[in-house]
Amino acid sequence: MNKVMMLERAVLESIGAGNKTAQRISDDIGLTLTWVKSILFQLQSKGVIGFDGYSYSFMNKEKLSEINSEDNVKYEIKEITNSMIESYFAKNPKVGMKLQKVNMTDSEAEIFKTMLQNLENFISDLRTRKRQSKTSNQQVIFWGSTTYQSLLGDFIRNNC
């Protein structure tokens, strides 16, 4: 199976909340019906979803495992971060993004690690709560840290 684009994943997430018509998917993810129908067609031709004459549903659990493979998740993360970066620099007021390179003492690094763990716990708690909300209203949040040396080494291994 080819890589799953961010648009396809949004449609799949919408269907994952319950079988839906194309119009309900469009309303849920905030894309035009034309876009949604095109994406649904792509997903049907890949054998991931089926249509019963009224609504769309998952058809192949094996394909879903493939969609959630490490390569596909990595591809999705790249698409999301690239989209956020482009939106941020296009001065989209709905996109907030910060990146800082800072030096930390060992004790500051421990404090930062604790703060990240608190954030992780908060987000994990949010994910366990079932909310009736549109997929398009979900907040996309990402965070992490590493050393500059590690990034430079990875960059050389992957790009040079």
Distance between CA atoms of 22 and 54, rounded to whole angstroms? 9
Strand partners, 56: 20, 51
Give pLDDT tens digits for 136-156: 888 888 888 888 888 889 889
CATH 1.10.10.10 applies to domain 1-93: yes
pTM for this model (two decimals): 0.77
Q: Where in the chain is the domain with CATH 1.10.10.10?
A: 1-93
* DSSP symbol at 3: P
Q: What is the pLDDT of residues 42-68, one digit of tens each?
A: 999 988 899 999 999 988 778 888 888
List, for residues 72-131, the tens digit of each pLDDT value: 888 888 998 888 888 888 888 888 888 889 999 999 999 999 999 999 999 999 888 877
Q: ∠ CA(64), CA(131), CA(145), 5° rounding? A: 65
